[in-house]
């Protein structure tokens, strides 16, 4: 079905390969390698921000999305594709193939006042394609860290980054919290007055036309639309006068329409370059639509920030004309964590390791309709918009447990819903009072899953802590990696008892750091006791 992965140049032959038989064989290998690379598919990931389940034409929306509909007609609809309920965790899962809960990027998005982001140790999907010889580019919104040098796209596998680090960046001024937030590879660029969705589409098209055509590319385009702030060209808003005026619905529709037009230009660019047949295009939304800002998820229950289906089950399509028959619908569960193992497998790209991945390779299901059983339960969580109000869900086979947890000062209330999600995808029948044993098992799975969250990871906040101020320019406010230490060295003393006491609440540090800290604590205790004798 697929060409095999290209071989790497032989490190042993770097100096004298021209003069040896070994070198001759290596040269042959390199020629074969570059022709294999030329056969490998290009990858384009198009990510919408807060697009509702019902807000695409192929789901019956009044919003015009001919380009997304074209992808659905020419590709395979991933009908049960799950993102997380909010922006940053979805992006963390997409980039790493790992559960964002373990990365500490789960309960809340990364706000401007946070210094949370991807670890320098994470192997990203961009790293993997780059290691295999791909050129890599990101155009659009990052939202996975903006304070430390290792957190930004150019340090996480992207050769080229054009876009913004924050979320909620203004579509015309390109500012967030008053700070300028538009850059190219770490240097601010100024395009004030130009509509951000147009700029993103233009840059993605430029990249496709001006790339090195001899090697394949991995292009990730996380659009800023239709996320707030609710802004769109007036003429496009007027096109949707028949829609309700309330909840920004007309502006939201115009933002989706504008994004779809740019997707159309990107698809046109692939056609013009003659590469559409061997390019995998994956389109999906990073979470469900927000009802407050005009998104519609019906008939699914709930919305962005919630773990009912409307918050997490999103429109998704994959197209690869050379390999996939158009017009198909795949109904097995796929999660955003699966994208990295699936696309690398489909493209024949070598994964250095799959040991730490939480996602599954779903390519056999997409390509051949084979069942891919999920090895472990899938969980989602969010703590927006209200700190202390936590929405969680865990899926295990046909069962789904939803909890809404309200943390009070003196008590915590937990509201529970148990759904047979395969029979009841719109979550109308709650079985929590009828199946005590299943409920108990799902609660246990939920507890085991949640305690993997690092205690210092993101939790919900609405505003910055007192005294915080934003930089004038976000691109200039990233601390360069050369000014950072290679790893965190805690100088506080932590006993094994302290670690054990926190275990049910969440992971304090990774196991290696934990062992090191316990050892340091013991050493310190021994020294103190010797000194006191
Ligand atoms: Ca989002």
User: What's the confidence (pLDDT) of residue 326?
Assistant: 96
Sequence-ordered list of residues with C-beta below 8 angstroms from that of 69, at least 6 positions apart, any chain: 56, 57, 58
At residue 28 the predicted structure's pLDDT band, cuts being 50, 70 and 90, is low
At residue 37 the predicted structure's pLDDT band, cuts being 50, 70 and 90, is low
User: What's the confidence (pLDDT) of residue 9?
Assistant: 34
Fold of 41-368: Alkaline Phosphatase, subunit A (3.40.720)
Residue 43 has pLDDT above 80, yes or no: yes
Cα of 375 from ligand 1 centre, angstroms: 27
3-state secondary structure of 87: helix
Cα of 6 from ligand 1 centre, angstroms: 36
What burial letters (b/e) apply to 453-490, b meaning 16+ CB within 10 Å?
Answer: bbeebbbbbeeeeeeeebbeebbeebeeeeeeeeeeee
User: What's the confidence (pLDDT) of residue 494?
Assistant: 80
Residue 366 has pLDDT above 60, yes or no: yes
pLDDT in tens, 267-300: 999 999 999 999 999 999 999 999 999 999 999 9
Smallest Cα–Cα separation from 317: which of 308, 333, 309, 328?
328
User: What's the confidence (pLDDT) of residue 312?
Assistant: 98
What's the CA gap between 270 and 48, in Å, rounded?
A: 19
Cα of 438 from ligand 1 centre, angstroms: 32
The yes-or-no answer on residue 26 being catalytic is no
What average pLDDT does this structure show over 426-433? 98
Fold of 378-450: Arylsulfatase, C-terminal domain (3.30.1120)
Sequence-ordered list of residues with C-beta below 8 angstroms from that of 256, at least 6 positions apart, any chain: 48, 51, 55, 63, 65, 225, 226
Cα–Cα distances (Å) from 346 to 232, 298, 352, in that order, read 37, 32, 15
Residue 321 has pLDDT above 50, yes or no: yes
pLDDT in tens, 199-245: 999 999 999 999 999 999 999 999 999 999 999 999 999 999 999 99
3-state secondary structure of 106: coil
Higher pLDDT, 29 or 61: 61
Smallest Cα–Cα separation from 219: which of 261, 175, 269, 169?
269
At residue 504 the predicted structure's pLDDT band, cuts being 50, 70 and 90, is confident
Catalytic residue among 13, 59, 87, 227: 87
Residue whose tokens read 């250095």: 352
pLDDT in tens, 473-483: 999 999 999 99
SS3 annotation, 139-163: EEECCCCCCEHHHCHHHCCCCEEEE
What's the CA gap between 302 and 416, in Å, rounded?
A: 15
Residue 174: φ, ψ to 5°: 60, 40
Residue whose tokens read 């309330």: 246
The yes-or-no answer on residue 435 being catalytic is no
Residue 8 has pLDDT above 60, yes or no: no
Cα of 262 from ligand 1 centre, angstroms: 19
Count of all residues that appear for the chain in the document: 533
Sequence-ordered list of residues with C-beta below 8 angstroms from that of 90, at least 6 positions apart, any chain: 83, 84, 100, 286, 287, 336
Cα of 478 from ligand 1 centre, angstroms: 23
Q: Where are the alpha helices (DSSP H) in 478-531?
A: 496-502, 511-531
At residue 52 the predicted structure's pLDDT band, cuts being 50, 70 and 90, is very high
Calculate the CA 107 to chain-centre distance: 14
User: Residue 269 in contact with residue 208, Cβ under 8 Å?
Assistant: yes
User: What's the confidence (pLDDT) of residue 16?
Assistant: 35
Residue 492 has pLDDT above 80, yes or no: no
What average pLDDT does this structure show over 339-349? 97
Cα of 277 from ligand 1 centre, angstroms: 30
3-state secondary structure of 281: strand
What's the CA gap between 125 and 357, in Å, rounded?
A: 11
What's the CA gap between 415 and 291, in Å, rounded?
A: 22
Cα of 381 from ligand 1 centre, angstroms: 14
At residue 457 the predicted structure's pLDDT band, cuts being 50, 70 and 90, is confident
SS3 annotation, 375-428: CCCEEEEECCCCCCEEEEEEEECCEEEEEEEEECCCCEEEEEEEEECCCCCCCC
Cα of 515 from ligand 1 centre, angstroms: 37
pLDDT in tens, 56-103: 999 999 999 999 999 999 999 999 999 999 999 999 999 999 999 999
Q: Does 299 sit behind a cis peptide bond, omega within 30 degrees of 0 on the bond before it?
A: yes
At residue 15 the predicted structure's pLDDT band, cuts being 50, 70 and 90, is very low
Cα of 111 from ligand 1 centre, angstroms: 13
User: What's the confidence (pLDDT) of residue 35?
Assistant: 54
Smallest Cα–Cα separation from 112: which of 143, 152, 74, 91?
143
What's the CA gap between 230 and 258, in Å, rounded?
A: 13
User: What's the confidence (pLDDT) of residue 27?
Assistant: 52
Catalytic residue among 13, 26, 111, 143: 143
Give percent above pLDDT 70 in the chain.
93
Q: Would you kindly state where each structural domain of the chain is located, as residue ranges? A: 1-39, 41-368, 378-450, 490-531
Cα of 176 from ligand 1 centre, angstroms: 16
**How many degrees, rounded to 5, is the angle at CA 523 between CA 522 and CA 524?**
90
Cα of 210 from ligand 1 centre, angstroms: 30
Higher pLDDT, 35 or 447: 447
Cα of 49 from ligand 1 centre, angstroms: 4
User: What's the confidence (pLDDT) of residue 407?
Assistant: 94
User: What's the confidence (pLDDT) of residue 284?
Assistant: 98
What burial letters (b/e) apply to 398-417, b meaning 16+ CB within 10 Å?
Answer: ebbbbbbbeeeeeeeeeebb
- 231: number of CA atoms within 13 Å, CB side? 16
Cβ neighbour number for residue 532 with a 10 Å cutoff: 6
User: Residue 451 in contact with residue 400, Cβ under 8 Å?
Assistant: no
Cα of 48 from ligand 1 centre, angstroms: 8
Cα of 369 from ligand 1 centre, angstroms: 30
Calculate the CA 518 to chain-centre distance: 34
């Amino acid at each position: 079905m697929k060409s095999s992965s290209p071989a790497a140049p032989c490190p042993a032959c770097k100096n004298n390969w021209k003069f040896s038989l070994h070198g001759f064989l290596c040269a042959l290998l390199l020629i074969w390698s570059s022709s294999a690379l030329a056969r490998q598919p290009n990858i384009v990931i198009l990510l919408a921000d807060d697009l509702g389940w019902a807000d695409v034409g192929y789901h019956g929306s009044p919003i015009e999305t001919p380009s997304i509909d074209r992808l659905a007609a020419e590709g395979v609809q991933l009908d049960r594709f799950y993102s997380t309920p909010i922006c940053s965790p979805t992006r963390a899962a997409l980039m790493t193939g790992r559960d964002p809960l373990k990365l500490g990027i789960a309960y809340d998005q990364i706000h401007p006042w946070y210094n949370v982001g991807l670890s320098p140790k994470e192997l990203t999907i961009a790293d993997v394609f780059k290691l295999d010889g791909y050129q890599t580019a990101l155009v659009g919104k990052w939202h996975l860290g903006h304070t430390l040098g290792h957190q930004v796209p150019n340090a996480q596998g992207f050769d080229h980054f054009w876009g913004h680090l924050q979320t909620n960046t203004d579509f015309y001024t390109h500012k967030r919290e008053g700070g300028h937030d538009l850059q190219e590879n770490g240097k601010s660029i100024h395009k004030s007055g130009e509509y951000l969705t147009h700029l993103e589409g233009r840059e993605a098209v430029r990249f496709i036309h001006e790339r090195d055509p001899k090697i394949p590319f991995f292009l990730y385009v996380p659009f800023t639309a239709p996320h707030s702030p609710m802004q769109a060209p007036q003429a496009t808003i007027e096109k949707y006068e028949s829609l309700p005026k309330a909840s920004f619905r007309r502006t939201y529709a115009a933002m989706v329409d504008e994004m779809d037009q740019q997707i159309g230009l990107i698809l046109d660019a692939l056609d013009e370059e003659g590469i559409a047949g061997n390019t995998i295009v994956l389109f999906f939304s990073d979470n469900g639509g927000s009802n407050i800002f005009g998104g519609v998820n019906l008939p699914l229950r709930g919305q962005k920030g919630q773990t009912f289906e409307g918050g997490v089950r999103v429109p998704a399509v994959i197209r690869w004309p050379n390999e996939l028959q158009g017009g198909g619908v795949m109904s097995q569960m796929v999660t955003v964590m699966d994208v990295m193992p699936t696309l690398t497998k489909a493209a024949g790209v070598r994964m250095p390791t799959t040991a730490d991945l939480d996602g599954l390779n779903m390519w056999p299901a997409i390509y051949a309709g084979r069942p891919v059983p999920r090895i472990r339960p899938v969980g989602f969580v969010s703590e927006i918009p209200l700190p202390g109000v936590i929405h969680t869900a865990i899926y295990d086979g046909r069962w789904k447990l939803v909890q809404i947890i309200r943390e009070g000062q003196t008590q915590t209330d937990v509201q529970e819903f148990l759904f047979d999600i395969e029979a009841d995808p719109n979550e109308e029948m709650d079985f929590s009072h009828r199946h005590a044993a299943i409920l108990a098992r799902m609660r246990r799975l939920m507890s085991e899953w949640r305690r993997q969250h690092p205690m210092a990871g993101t939790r919900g906040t609405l505003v910055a802590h007192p005294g915080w101020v934003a930089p004038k320019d976000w691109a200039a406010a990233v601390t360069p990696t050369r000014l950072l230490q290679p790893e965190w060295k805690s100088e506080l003393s932590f006993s094994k008892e302290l670690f054990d006491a926190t275990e049910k609440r969440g992971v304090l540090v990774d196991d290696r750091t934990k062992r090191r800290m316990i050892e340091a604590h013991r050493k310190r205790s021994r020294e103190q006791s010797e000194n006191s004798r």
